[in-house]
Amino acid sequence: MQADRALRVGIVGPVGSGKSHLIAALCRELAGECRVGVVTNDIYTTEDAEFLRSTGVLPADRISAVQTGGCPHTAIRDDIAANLEAVSELEAAAGPLDLVFVESGGDNLTAIFSPALADVQAFVIDVAAGDDIPRKGGPGIARADLLVINKTDLAPHVGADVELMVAESRRRRDPLPVHATSLRAPDGAAAVAGWVRERLAAFHAHGHLHSSAEGAPDHHHAHPH
């Protein structure tokens, strides 16, 4: 059965991990192949949406912003109504769209998308946060459909061991994929873009995808508000 809406790809991760820059790079890679939209989440501003519009990677009317007004967990996992409405309105105004990236507000390692909002999700960490992040775990590290270890170019400057991070991530996530990226490289987003293409092809073929987060037990409690 063919899909009658856009594939929704959640991009989630801590503050400063490079989510917005990754989305910009993915838009550059994919905008010539399919119709892409973006919904961003910030607590009190629309800064991420403004950044993406400033890059020119998409027409401005294909980038929408949600102001969560509180913990980013709520708007992507618990009370997703504002994001569902934003995606629906974006598709109605700028559609038909093939693909919508939904970017979470920056949060810690416990953030994850509701499967009712994101068909699949990529969790983004960066080497500057420490190479012990994979060992610390959390639902995003353990079972997001893709784990992106970003800013590998910074590893020599912050004393991080990228090979160790990848190895520990793969042990924790096997068989779910892990990609190490540096968006400073010309092809830095190529592997992640390839993963998105595969998900999009499967979604178009079957009309749905099963997210690894759906139905999986979550043993990590959210942070206190």
Lowest mean pLDDT among 72-81, 128-137, 208-217: 208-217
For residue range 150-197, what is the model confidence (pLDDT) as tens digits? Answer: 999 999 999 999 999 999 999 999 999 999 999 999 999 999 999 999
Q: Is residue 76 part of a domain?
A: yes
Q: Is residue 221 part of a domain?
A: no
Q: Is residue 97 part of a domain?
A: yes
Q: Is residue 219 part of a domain?
A: no
Q: Cα dist. 85→7, 92, 106, 140 in Å?
A: 15, 10, 20, 24
Under the banding of pLDDT at 50, 70 and 90, the label for residue 208 is low
Domain that holds residue 174: 7-206
Q: Is residue 214 part of a domain?
A: no
pLDDT tops 80 at residue 222: no
Q: Cα 185 vs. chain centroid, distance in angstroms? A: 20
Facing residues of 103 across strands?
11, 40
Q: Is residue 95 part of a domain?
A: yes
Q: Is residue 1 part of a domain?
A: no
Domain count, the chain: 1
Q: Which two tokens stand for residue 113?
A: 């998308």
75 residue type, one letter: A
- Better-predicted residue by pLDDT, 63 or 95: 63
Q: Is residue 218 part of a domain?
A: no
Q: Which of 2, 222, 32 minimizes the C-alpha distance to 114?
A: 222
CB 58 within 8 A of CB 38: yes
CATH of the domain at 100: 3.40.50.300
